[in-house]
Chain A
């Protein structure tokens, strides 16, 4: 079956612009995670969804970052007024249930803020 997909694979934007990153999880997976990974670092937790609700958004760095999952499947990570420090690979992962299960990662979106 299809794995986790993310679009776009690459996004180049200018400082101050708004961007949306999309994640399509594996069908039937109720848990969805967003991470950010900088070069040479491990994935950094941003937010966790269980179904439609954000069960834990404590990893979002500031109020410029927001994520939604309105129907419990596709999720969108939204970044307002992008800054150069937002440049990173944004990874999405899904799992059957909550944190005790294997996470399946998407290929990521590489965001570059000029």
Chain B
């Protein structure tokens, strides 16, 4: 089952914050987050492992709640370069790697 992401799309002004959610119907071992710009390959942002870990870069962080089978990506003080489609990727006990439904993010100047 493909993880469901919400919202499907979001438009921000530069400097605004956003949260992207990823919800799975299966137990998760890890969650990865990727960003894909139009016409390009996905680029890795971060991985969260089982254990309620929270990680982050400067203005991009994420949390993983394995009990709820959910992960959230937090974008703070968004920049134009944040525009793209965000995917969560999940692994559930096998090596089969499933990407979420995607969230299109557009940051306006």
Residues of A within 8 A of B (CB): 33, 35, 41-45, 48, 50, 55-56, 58-59, 91, 98-108
Contacts and interface: CB of A to CB of B under 8 A. Distances in A.
29 contacts: A35-B99, A41-B102, A42-B2, A42-B87, A42-B100, A42-B101, A42-B102, A43-B87, A44-B99, A45-B97, A45-B99, A48-B95, A48-B96, A50-B95, A56-B94, A58-B96, A91-B42, A98-B95, A99-B91, A99-B95, A100-B47, A101-B47, A102-B32, A102-B44, A102-B47, A103-B89, A103-B97, A105-B41, A107-B41
A43 B97 CA distance: 10
B49 interface: yes
Contact of A105 (B43, B96, B102): B43
Interface of B: 2, 29-30, 32, 40-44, 47, 49, 87, 89, 91, 94-102
Q: Which of A42, A56, A99 has the most CB of B within 10 A?
A: A42
A52 to B, nearest CB: 15
Nearest to B2: A42
B100 A104 contact: no
Contacts of A104: 44
Interface of A is mostly: loop
